Amino acid sequence: MNFNMKYLIKHFYYQMSHFKMHNLTPLLLYLISLLFLSIGLFTLNDSDSMRYLYIVIGLNTVVWLFSMVVLNRNTAFYKDSIVKVNYMPIFYRMMPAVLFQTFVFVLMLSITVSTASLVIGFWQMNIFSLLYYVVVGVLLIIPFTLLYLIFGNPNDRVNMAVFAVLIISVPIIYLPENLPNLFNDILSLNPFYYIVNGLQLNTAGISWNVNRLPHDVLFFTQIAVIYLWIFKFYEKMKFNIYNFNKKRQD
């Protein structure tokens, strides 16, 4: 086992010991949403229960995506980790938080859908579609995490504002079919919309199919453009992070 893999395994488990309150906050939110969903499942009819499940899955997905970005600041600036860029690539510095939050999200998503299936009467989630959207979600969030790291230390207001914008821009407080076609097409340009709506549809029994190919092409085109930009400016970003960390220590 090479050194990088040992680092990933070691720091994956460190997520439970370092910055415990921060790293487990998403889990608390998942548990709260599961509690309210359980109450709703026993008080609502099947149609309303599905609508409630749709909202909960969308909200939990946004929490997952947001947590992978924000919680990486704890890891990135822990004991000069970014200063030692040559010692450990920044990509590996980011991955423990990403993998840990993804593990917790998938676990709680499975429990949530299982709870719903006990009341609704059938299992609706396609495992392969789940894995697909989780993988592409991680691919999407990595460049945004790098971008987040080059900025200063955003306060809670900024983080909450970004979270609120993310909530509004994906189908949580509205159903896509209830929106005008033009407005829905505009929102579909958002790559986060693709991830959130894909997981929502999958838990509602609509797994990935060829009818979604135009959305897939659009999403992966956006991903390619984002990664090309990241590769071009990676060196500059790396030294911006280094300089920012040095200022924090001075």
Each residue's pLDDT tens digit, 41-72: 888 887 788 888 889 999 999 999 998 888 77
Q: Cβ–Cβ contacts within 10 Å for residue 116, how many?
A: 27
Q: For the chain, which residues score pLDDT lower than 70?
A: 1-4, 11, 16-20, 73-91, 121-123, 149-155, 208, 210, 233-250
Q: How far is CA 79 from CA 3, 4, 83, 92, 143, in A?
A: 19, 18, 9, 15, 23
Phi, then psi, of 197 in degrees rounded to 5: -65, -35
Q: Are 97 and 68 in contact (CB under 8 A)?
A: yes
Q: Residue 84 is which amino acid?
A: K
CA distance 75 to 55: 30
Cβ neighbors of 55 (< 8 A, separation 6 or more) are 172, 173
Report how far residue 125's alpha carbon sits from residue 199's, in angstroms, rounded to the nearest whole number.
9
* Average pLDDT score over the chain: 78
